Structure 1
Amino acid sequence: MSDTNATTPRVFIARHGETEWTISGQCTGNAEIPLTENGKKQSLGTGKMLVGPGKLIDPAKLARVFCSPRSRAVDTLDLLLGEGPKSQLDADKKITITEEIAEWDYGAYEGLTPAQIKAKRTEQGLGKWNIWEEGCEGGENPAQVTERLDRLIHEIQKIQEPFLNGGTAPDVLVAHGHILRAFTKRWLKYPMGFEFTMMMEPGAIGILSYAHHSIQEPALLVGMGFPSAA
């Protein structure tokens, strides 16, 4: 799979590989839960398939890489890029580890499964949980997540704007399942409460680009969810 047909900048979004909490369905925000061995294989396999010269993501053509500071995301980045390209990007100061793309802060729901959250809310006399509307008790609300993602998107757009009429200046975001859905909503200029179904399996990569070659136009989702190659 090659990037030779790309005519405008893109953003590649990458979900970290599997963890034990991914398997169990527990909300994983700030907790440092490591990749499983299968999770490492997922990310390594995706990297071998999609990352490298002449492939979908050519590290030599990356303008910047933004990565969540959680270890599962940092380790995924290492596995996706490989030691040589990662070292070169580090040397070129093109990798930014930032809380702007960290997973949603789940607060009191950290480590709980959806069933446990439902039981907890029932005990509290609360209705069905909608994170997009309510956020998380003791954690982040939609307005806070929107604010930090919009800051990051603005930074990306400043990097990419000179290349909108030709040339490739993609970025890679390595992050987490829920925050990448939130990022995609804001990239498409949808509010957090907008109903938008999108799932990325652990170790998967998606692509975001622009509509009509204009940074002022609504962004266009051009590809999503390449399966991991585990």
Structure 2
Amino acid sequence: MSDLDATTPRVFLARHGETEWTKNGRYTGKTELDLTPDGVRQVTSTAAQFVGHRKLIDPAHVARVWVSPRKRTRQTFRCLFDCSDVSIADNKVTFTEDITEWDYGDYEGLLVGEIRAGRVERGLDKERGWNIWRDGCEGGDSAQQVTGRLDRLIAEIRDIQRPYMNGEKPVDVVVVAHGLILRCFVKRWLGYPLDMPLTLMLSPGGIGILSYKNRDIDEPALFIGISIPPLED
């Protein structure tokens, strides 16, 4: 049995397109930013190639969509599915804070170098350097808080997909969110703590894919490559 069998339920991770702060590396949590024109093009290009009838993300096969309620992710959701030839019913779409970006608290809008320098000035990190996966953010989310909300969402997804592991009906899921929280999502999907070293990348407007090995709900997996469905004749 192929691990690429599309009848096994999948979770598609969609990162929002570029914003001005994405371009310059500023930590963007609750700040409301629009997609740049390039960000819109990133998402619409992804949608044109991968979303639609008999494409990688076939809306007819999607059971649920979870979207972060930030403006940039709402825009991304619309760009992904408005171009599709099959629409997503409103009752399948949930906007939830469970998948919003890590709350950066006092670090909102800062660069990594500025955060680290500020912590040193305040007498922090004397024994080891700051690591968001382990230390969280002053005035914002801790790793434990992020883990809790992601685990809650993952449990809901698995409850939906568990009865259909052998393709009884299509129950793919789409999660539209942010760069850091989606990398956190991957770690928790695989059962890893957030501070486990696992370097992951997901481009703005990009799509990542999770599923299950051997059609087993207890073997969650990360696709490192996937074949693209053939174009319709």
Identity over aligned pairs, percent: 53
Which residue of structure 1 aligns with residue 45 of structure 2?
45
Cα distance in structure 1, aligned partners of 2:162 and 2:67: 21
Aligned to 1:211: 213
Question: Which ranges in structure 2 are unaligned for 5 or more consecutive residues?
Answer: 227-233
Query: Structure 2: how far apart are the matches of 1:104 and 1:138?
Result: 12
Taking only aligned residues, the RMSD between alpha carbons, in angstroms, comes to 1.8
For residues 72-104 of structure 1, what are the alpha-carbon distances to aligned partners after superposition, in whole Å with 9 as ceiling and x for unaligned? 0010010011166686421xx000000000000
Change (3 A) 1:202 1:88: closer
Deviates more, 1:61-70 or 1:205-214: 205-214
| 3-state SS of paired residue (1:7) | coil
- Whether the aligned pair in 2 keeps the contact of 1:206 and 1:224 (CA below 8 Å) is no
Matches within 5 A, 1:73-152: 73-82=73-82, 88-90=88-90, 93-127=91-125, 128-152=129-153
Q: CA deviation at 1:168?
A: 2.6
Q: 1:110 to 1:203 in 2, by over 3 A?
A: same
Whether the aligned pair in 2 keeps the contact of 1:12 and 1:208 (CA below 8 Å) is yes
The answer for the alignment partner of 1:179 in structure 2 is 181
Cα separation, 2, equivalents of 1:33 and 1:86: 28
Q: Which amino acid aligns with 1:202?
A: P
Query: Counterpart of 1:72 in structure 2: which amino acid?
Result: R
Structure 1 residue 214: Cα displacement: 1.7
Report SS of the residue matched to 1:14: strand
Q: Deviations over 1:173-213 (max 9, x none)?
A: 00000000000000000011111110101000010001222
Q: Any idea what the Cα deviations from partners look like across 1:59-80, whole Å, max 9, x if unmatched?
A: 1110000000001001001001
For 1:189, the equivalent position in structure 2 comes to: 191
CA contact (8 A) 1:205 1:224 kept: no
Looking at structure 2, the residues matched to 89 and 26 of structure 1 have their Cα atoms a distance apart, in angstroms, of 35
Matched residue, 1:228: none
> Any conservation in 2 of the 1:67–1:101 contact (CA below 8 Å)?
yes
Change (3 A) 1:85 1:109: farther
